Amino acid sequence: MKKEIIKPSILPGFMELLPNEQEKFNDIVNKILNVYEKNGCLDIDTPIIEKANVLLAKTGGETEKQVYSFTKGKNDLTLRFDLTVPFARYVAQHYNELTFPFRRYQLGKVYRGERNQKGRYREFYQCDIDVIGKDKLAIENDAWVISLASKAFKEIKLKDYKFQISNRKILKGILKGLKIENSNEVMMLIDKYDKIGKGKFIEELTFLIGNEKTLYLSDILDIKGSNKEVVESLERLNIKEDYFIEGVNELKKVNEILKVLGVEENEFEINLKIIRGLDYYTGTVFETLLIGNETYGSICSGGRYDNLAENYTDKILPGVGISIGMTRLFFVLKEIGFIENYNVKGKLNYLIIPIGDTLEYCGTVMKSLEKKGYGVTIYFEEDSLKKKMNYANKLGIENVILIGEEEKIKNEVKVKNMTLGKEFVTDYNNL
């Protein structure tokens, strides 16, 4: 009886890579995490499934609709849809056992049942840093988390990214000064500015706040110049609202500290149109654009919030965080041709190919190379030499060691460099 064959496939909206691309993905992730660790971030790992009532404490509307929820036995369960909510739960739960300021990073898969379209994923890796203080947290941290993103991008040799930085307090102060009642609607409109374009923006803003205030506000949003000049222009507005003054001072400070921490002037710019949605952020906000490829949107975003875990604890836990959507970043980097040219130095340095009955000697050579720290393995199948060499070629292995009876007797090895196509014979101890 013939077995029924089920067509192997995965769900739409899920990314699965072939080994060659997986190696590149891993290398990029590992380099970024290495930067985070060398800068003192501690890793945490939280469950992918959590209690629905805990994970959905704060959400509603759009998020809740996208969430993967189900029951198992008597439990209502939810798959995490970001790393921030589980982190808030983690900090509240383990509060007494953590050292503050708590600088943590986390890499993990999150789940959102988004509409299926190119470049949008339902399962994707997010990679977050957050620094959480007890009651207070210095503004320097806002610059510090951005500086880590900068170091991470430099580490993977990504160019042409530009951090777009603002501070929510600035607009809040301006809108307050203008006595605008429907400030949330205005903020939401500014959030859409780059999507809808200036013409449409002015039109809709005029509808919301009238002609005069629209002109005043859009002039501010359009302030051009170096970062220093933008700050000076803002100061010259001479707005007396506390929020505004605080926001400009924080933005100025973040600008200064960024440079102290090694972020170059050309890596970032002030962009007052950056909002990052309505909830959550309260001070510094930022996004990251790829210059020349702005249409892909932000590849790394974040900001400052007043209180991380108010749903889970009475403690006041201000924080600042950044997030990279790794799966989406990888998609974008493929689209712009970065991945194609991204080279990973594999850890397998030598493939040993036995010819004839030489396996024991091959083992000796392998152990010798391993002792020296090399990555090495043996090809075990009985195939033609052509097929064996083809295997090394396909896997991109740099050096092949051929060991036949002659090499075994003479205690030698024949090494073939696959890139240069050159062969030489040597004592294996010389490798």
Candidate list 120, 138, 241, 246; residue touching its own copies; CB under 8 A: 138
User: How far apart are the C-alpha atoms of 81 and 64, rounded to whole Å?
Assistant: 9
Was 276 annotated as part of a binding site? Answer: yes
- Does position 123 bind its own copies by CB under 8 A? yes
Which positions from 291 through 320 interact with its own copies, judged by CB under 8 A? 309-314
Q: How far is the CB of 7 from its own copies (least distance, A)?
A: 8
User: How far apart are the C-alpha atoms of 307 and 280, rounded to whole Å?
Assistant: 9
φ/ψ of 134, rounded to 5, equals: -90, 115
- Does position 135 bind its own copies by CB under 8 A? no
User: How far apart are the C-alpha atoms of 37 and 103, rounded to whole Å?
Assistant: 10
Give residue 397's identity as a one-letter amino acid code: I
Q: Which among 259, 419, 272 has a CA at the least distance from the CA of 349?
A: 419
- Does position 377 bind its own copies by CB under 8 A? yes
Q: How far is the CB of 237 from its own copies (least distance, A)?
A: 28
Q: Is 50 helix (H, G, I), strand (E, B) or coil?
A: strand
State how far Cα 375 lies from the chain centre.
29
- Does position 344 bind its own copies by CB under 8 A? no
The 3-state DSSP composition of the chain as helix, strand, coil percent (nearest 5) reads: 40, 20, 35
Cβ closer to its own copies: 229 or 370?
370
- Does position 418 bind its own copies by CB under 8 A? no
Q: Where are the alpha helices (DSSP H) in 137-241?
A: 140-155, 168-177, 183-191, 193-196, 198-209, 211-221, 227-236
- Does position 132 bind its own copies by CB under 8 A? no
Cβ closer to its own copies: 19 or 61?
19
Q: How far is the CB of 140 from its own copies (least distance, A)?
A: 4
Which positions from 221 through 260 interact with its own copies, judged by CB under 8 A? 257, 260
Candidate list 89, 328, 388, 416; residue touching its own copies; CB under 8 A: 89
User: How far apart are the C-alpha atoms of 359 and 362, rounded to whole Å?
Assistant: 5
Do the beta carbons of residue 111 and residue 95 sit within 8 Å? no
- Does position 381 bind its own copies by CB under 8 A? yes
User: How far apart are the C-alpha atoms of 89 and 310, rounded to whole Å?
Assistant: 10
Q: Which among 111, 191, 108, 105 has a CA at the least distance from the CA of 149?
A: 105
Do the beta carbons of residue 316 and residue 135 sit within 8 Å? yes
Stretch that binds its own copies, among 19-27, 211-219, 269-277, 407-415 (CB under 8 A): 19-27
- Does position 81 bind its own copies by CB under 8 A? no
Q: How far is the CB of 406 from its own copies (least distance, A)?
A: 20
Q: How far is the CB of 272 from its own copies (least distance, A)?
A: 25
Was 281 annotated as part of a binding site? Answer: yes
Candidate list 59, 63, 93, 249; residue touching its own copies; CB under 8 A: 93
In which region does residue 323 sit, left (phi positive, over 0), alpha (psi from -120 to 50) or beta (all else)?
beta
Cβ closer to its own copies: 7 or 159?
7
Candidate list 200, 367, 372, 410; residue touching its own copies; CB under 8 A: 367
Size of the residue set binding its own copies (CB under 8 A): 97
- Does position 101 bind its own copies by CB under 8 A? yes
- Does position 7 bind its own copies by CB under 8 A? yes
User: Residues annotated as binding site for L-histidine?
Assistant: 82-84, 112, 126, 130, 276, 280-281
User: Residues annotated as binding site?
Assistant: 82-84, 112, 126, 130, 276, 280-281
